[in-house]
Amino acid sequence: MTQARAYDIIACRSAYQTYMTWRATGRPGKLEKLPVPQKRKTQGFITIDDENNKRIEMANSHDIEGFKESMIGQLKCGKEIPVNPKDHQGKTIEKALMETTSQEAR
């Protein structure tokens, strides 16, 4: 469980930074494959790695909406993971992404 959570945080923060770069520049930032665990791969890691690989594909195909949606919703990045590391009282990734949606609608 701990392994999966750590990889979830790594993948989500990286995806969020990629998305923000994409919005600012019009081109997706570089999203890397996750480092492979030195010990055995857990099912949690495999699930997170699969989702990260889908995000890489979306970035390569310039699907910004699909990329953003991959981070929002139940069991996705945003609900608990803060934008800034260790800032658990601050803004979560999901809240920050929702704010970008409302700004785009204006």
- Residue 32's pLDDT is what? 87
Helix, strand, coil shares of the chain as percentages rounded to 5?
60, 0, 40
pTM, two decimals, is: 0.83
Distance from chain centroid for Cα 103: 20
Q: CA of 36: how far to CAs of 32, 42, 100, 103, in Å?
A: 12, 11, 32, 37
- pLDDT tens, position by position, for the chain (106 residues)? 566 788 888 899 999 999 999 999 999 888 888 887 777 778 888 888 999 999 999 999 999 999 999 888 766 776 788 888 888 788 888 888 888 866 665 5
